[in-house]
Amino acid sequence: MKKKNLMFLLICLSSLTVGLAILGMFFNKTENEKQNGLSNQYDVSSENEIAYVAYEKGKPQLFLHREEEPKHTVVAEYDEETMILDPTFSDDGSILAYITTNKDKETELISTIHFYSLEENTITDVFTDFSTVTEIEFKPDHSSLLYLRAGTFENYSPITGKRPHNFDVYEYNLDQKTHQQKTNLEQYSIYSLNVAKSGDRVFLGRDDDSDAETAEDIFEVKQRIFEIPLDSPEEMSIISDPEREVSIFSFTITPDGNDLIFQTISNPNDGGIFKYELFKYNLETKEEKQLTRFGDHTSDPVVSADGSTIYFMRDKKFAKGNPDYHLYKMSIDGDQMEELVLEPNME
């Protein structure tokens, strides 16, 4: 009798375990499927084509759109376990590069870089790396790709969750199909990779932590914009205002190399919810100008090839729940602002 009861208990426990596992998978899938709408991943080509990523029930979709045309072309779509990051046009607009990576970094790190040919309407896989690749940029001569790579996924401190870590800049030679590490920064975060028109240097955002020695110093570290010569990365230097008391986040550089367009907090001393706006900083005159005044969250600026227009994302539900991204454009001086309505045509 006792054996029968024990067997019955084991069967019940096994059934309960299987049921909980299935339920866990269901809820995990449901959480992924909650991701809907436009993301902040986009780019604008030299021909003013807009590539952007949107999600439908957790599934990422990459679209192409011309402002003067109503139709949106679906370039690629993937399952709900995948993210599409950093669509990036080549300078001549013939190739659209993008990254796919897995959402669940706890199980493994893996990223694949893809090329979409706008002329041939075909997708090719360029390379796969067992890491998190977050951003890619073409060299102006199209000889190689520069990319940001994080090799680990771990806790940065006891009070933060796991995040990609050990970021550095890498280069992939498209002809020789070889990879080369270009920096030895091992940063917790690097963002907004930009390549100089000369192709011999990059610009990026990161912590200005070179003088940080204690925990208090690290807490006071600001994020700034750095210039790094690719052949001599030890000559890295700060090009944003080194005395700026508020960190700089996503940014870009105008095609003439004269101005930085960047996101920062516009109300650091108000004591309420931070407001993230776009500013312009002239590298010669050192003058700074605020460009947007939405009072919520603007980010991810992209400047048109002719230098006349700034595109950017605005999160209309910032600090109110899931992001609600909208794409805008304005003149280089912050005037003539308008929203670009992106409503994908799935047919």
d(CA 121, CA 293): 40
Q: What is the pLDDT of residue 9?
A: 40
Q: Range of 103's domain?
A: 32-130
Q: What is the pLDDT of residue 72?
A: 86
Is 36 inside a domain boundary?
Answer: yes
Q: What is the pLDDT of residue 10?
A: 39
Is 249 inside a domain boundary?
Answer: no
Please tell me the total count of domains within the chain: 1
Is 23 inside a domain boundary?
Answer: no
The tokens 């011999």 sit on which residue? Answer: 200
Is 204 inside a domain boundary?
Answer: no
The residue among 271, 323, 270 whose CA lies nearest residue 299 is 323
Is 224 inside a domain boundary?
Answer: no
Q: What is the pLDDT of residue 220?
A: 75
Is 118 inside a domain boundary?
Answer: yes
Is 94 inside a domain boundary?
Answer: yes
The mean pLDDT values, 10 residues at a time, for the chain of 347 residues are: 41 42 44 80 96 96 86 93 98 97 90 97 97 96 96 58 77 98 93 97 93 59 96 97 96 97 96 95 97 98 97 96 96 95 61
Exposed/middle/buried for residue 10 (C-beta within 10 Å: 0-12, 13-18, 19+): exposed
Which 3 state secondary structure label does DSSP give 314? strand
Is 206 inside a domain boundary?
Answer: no
CA dist 117 → 104, 139, 221 (Å) = 29, 17, 42
